[in-house]
Amino acid sequence: MIKRFSVLYVGQIDLENVGADGTKPDDRLYTNDQLIQTYDNAMKLAKQMDDSGFYCLWAAEHHFQREGYECIPNLTLLGTHLAAHTKNLKFGAAFNIVSMWHPLRLAED
């Protein structure tokens, strides 16, 4: 029987004008408000998961991706911030982009 439930949050940005006729990926520039909304969404999700008894919030790391919708570059920092606002929820890194980190810094974090 499954007793622990988790969610993967990739830090997606809500965009308009996407698809075949939408803004070309290399022409997408995100506003500060769009980036802030991504972190607000993470906070709301973490609190809802904690209140609902979920076990773990997994996140995915992304850097400098105008072509994608994901924008969270530091999962350790995000998890630490969210942990300060939740009681029982665990946090996990679905993956780290090793080439973007100094090896010792990544190991230490």
**Count of domains forming the chain:** 1
pLDDT digits (tens, 9 = 90+) for 44-89: 999 999 999 999 999 988 776 655 677 888 899 999 999 999 999 9
- Residue 52 in any domain: the answer is yes
Tell me, yes or no, whether 1 lies in a domain: no
Domain-embedded: residue 26: yes
CA distance 57 to 92: 6
Q: Is 90 within 8 Å of 54 (Cβ atoms)?
A: no
Greater model confidence, 19 or 11: 11
pLDDT confidence of residue 86: 98
Q: Which domain holds residue 54?
A: 6-108
**Cβ atoms of 9 and 58 closer than 8 Å:** yes
In a domain, 21, yes or no: yes
Backbone angles phi, psi at 81, to 5 degrees: -65, -45
Helix (H) or strand (E) holding 59: strand 56-60
From the list 60, 45, 49, the residue with the least C-alpha distance to 92 is 60
Q: What is the pTM (predicted TM-score) of this model? A: 0.84
